[in-house]
Structure 1
Amino acid sequence: MPDQTVLIVDDEYAIRDMLRMALEIAEFRCIEAENIQQAHTLVVDERPDIVLLDWMLPGGSGLELLRRLKRNDTTADLPVIMLTAKTAEDNVIQGLDVGADDYITKPFAPRELIARIKALLRRAGGGEKNERIQVADLVLDGESRRIFMADEPVDMGPTEFNLLQFFMSHPERAYTRGQLLDHVWGANVYVEERTVDVHIRRLRKALQTPEHDYSDLIQTVRGTGYRFSARGIGVR
């Protein structure tokens, strides 16, 4: 994915330098800002393909810049990944509610960040719907819209498939029922939030067979909603 531009917004030079070196090795072009004023100028002048935005910045928070970008029609679709030391679920949800596409908490491995950048750019380019995603023996084939567990096909309804595809494309992140409705059903479709719970139950049931049980991949996050996670349940 050469020649795509990443705007790094962080007030710590050491972090920007580390990110720039890792991203340039991965063939990205990097531009840098240390505050929201510089960042907004670079967004307008350079039109980056994606923004890595630190939460805490001098002269205003990254959340303030995020709101500004999402309010403007010319930058509303610009992908943004929040870089944050804030690990509380409500802080993460606040960033996602404002319009962040993803987040990663410090400290993080550059390889994980680069993988997320590439995945987000694929989604922005429309490639997510056709991708093939695998977690252990669970395979989702976006092109054929089929699910397999240990090479055995899984019977699953279209809404459950769409939910699983969204979850597998956005692992380890908690989403509210409202956010899932927007992403999976569509922001302009009126569906009650409790509908999400019904389809989650159906999805978990579909992920259970006599030989395999991946229902625990869909985790309930108390007070928030749901997340897809392969951590701590013996799945790699």
Structure 2
Amino acid sequence: MWSFFRSRIRYVGLGGVDSSSQASIHGEPSETPDPIILPPKESRITTRTVVTGTRDVLSAKYESLDYDICENKVLLEEVRASTNNFHVRKLVSRWLIFLVIGILTAMVGVIIDIAIDKLGIIKYGIIKEALDKCVTEDCLYEPYLIWMGLNMGFILIGSFMVAYIEPVAAGSGIPQVKCYLNGVKIPRLVRLKTLFVKAAGVVCTVVGGLTAGKEGPMIHTGAVIAAGISQGKSTSIRTD
């Protein structure tokens, strides 16, 4: 058994003595192994292929921002230099901005409601005329075809606007707004053109008979209005 441990010590090395020095102690020829030279740190960075459709691919499209306040000497000096009047003006300005955002968001909601109501009256008025005529003429399939055609027309208009004019306006917009508030910059999310496409899409969706409403899209609408009011500029119409 002791001969077994001695042989293991010879090849493994114990107490910081490597196998080559152990072999020289026993009179065996030593063979110094070639040193292992690692490549520079930059060249050891490996790349990998990401399968399309994974979360890594989606994350690579967007830039992530950090909202944490960097506490440094400049910030502390600015806080010390600020007066009470400055904080009061800042608080009043903030609440005025909130008021303007709420009023404009409510106005957009009212416009959407009026548009849905007016287009719905026109749509069902056309169907009623065809239905009144076909009750006596025994052609009830015509109102059904008219109803299908009008619904398909409104839905196609809304789908075309979202697919070809502003794709980021698709869906409710709540997940995108959550990402934006958490620091993920989604391109074209809070642009004025996105607001128009979103509002028109809601109108076409509801008038087209789909089971949808304006509750979710109004959150996205409010975010667009808030971004424009707080920043004081619009990229879509190039005004500042």
When normalised by structure 1's length, the TM-score is 0.25
Q: Which has the higher helix share?
A: 2
Q: Which has the higher strand share?
A: 1
Q: Point out the structure with max Rg over C-alpha.
A: 2
- Select the structure with the greater relative contact order (CA < 8 A; seq sep ≥ 6): 2
When normalised by structure 2's length, the TM-score is 0.25
